[in-house]
Amino acid sequence: MSEITHRTVETNGIRLHVAEAGEGPLVLLLHGWPESWYSWRHQLPVLARAGYRVVAPDVRGYGRSDAPLEVEAYRMKALVADFVGLLDSLGERTAVVVGHDWGAAMAWDCAALHPERFRAVVGMSVPHLGRPPLPPTQLFRKAFGDQWFYILYFQEPGVAEAELEADIPRTMRTVLAGTAGFDVTSEVVRARKPGDEFLTGVPTPERLPSWLTEEDVAYFVGEFSRRGFRGGLNRYRNMDRDWAELPELATVKIEQPALFLVGEKDPGRAFAPVDLMKPLVPNLREVRVLPGAGHWIQQERADEVNAALLEFLASLPA
């Protein structure tokens, strides 16, 4: 990782830690939950060598970035403003924005709300679904009824934090390498009852998959041991607030060139249908499903993701 440098940048009234590499057109990489800039460790040097300036921040609430206390500090409007301000602080007028998981939702919204600043967009794992007809938590309650659902479990401040922070090494190992609590297709998760937790019934794997090393897990453990899980969980607690604050997402179209990547075995596919995205993203160049891959695709399938990103970036106007 000798090509990657680190610094702190001021934007939108907070400080973001960023990892960066290379020179050229800017590519902004946004991570999801529960991750950090480190999730892009395989992309930063490859894109940099291909002639791009690549910047991966710790999103507010994560790693070495600021973590405001208030729940509302993690609403989508604030996060998008962070990234617009980050472009300003980097001295860049435009960027290609790439996001995974919650970072994908942020990337899509950056492109939708600020097309003059984000000239193309890549989403991974989470499609752009616009604005639903009802606040998201109401939809989830209708869809899942009495069935346990992780986003509803995350809503009460302090509850999930206490569980996940009780044994951070177990949490990170289980979430990254085991059956995650967001896998609504798994029998373990489907068997949960009210009062169960995110990791209830999930064994912690002794052996890691080939794409994840003990050093990788240790890095994530260190980041969440420093910062805790509150900031990332607060993102889930703003979904209804976002619905109220951003009504334009119901109709605005993302006209920029776009790419969507998803793992064939990503559990999110069970409740985030890609077809709903297509009318809102008319210049969606491709939906690429990576055979056999799960949720953490830029880590699991780094070579394939890098190839897809390089192909997409090369297709864009200079």
Which residue numbers are catalytic? Answer: 101, 295
Amino acid at 293: A
Residues 6+ apart with CB under 8 A from 67: 60, 61, 227, 228, 230, 231
Distance (Å, whole) CA 281 – CA 245: 21
* 59-77 core/surface letters (b: 16 or more CB in 10 A; e: else): bbbbbbbbbbeebebbbbe
Instruction: Report how far apart, in Å, the C-alpha atoms of 224 and of each of 32, 52, 64, 129, 168 are.
Output: 13, 29, 10, 29, 7
What distance in Å separates the CA atoms of residue 127 and residue 244, rounded to the nearest whole number? 20
Centre a 10 Å sphere on the Cβ of residue 157 and count the other Cβ atoms it contains. 12
**Helices 159-166 and 168-177, axial angle in degrees (round to 10):** 100
Side by side, which strands form the sheet with 53-57? 5-11, 14-21, 53-57, 26-30, 95-100, 118-124, 258-263, 284-290
Burial of 282 (0-12, 13-18, 19+ CB in 10 A): exposed
> Strands (DSSP E) along 46-181, which ranges?
53-57, 95-100, 118-124
Q: Return d(Cα 266, Cα 48) in angstroms, integer.
A: 28
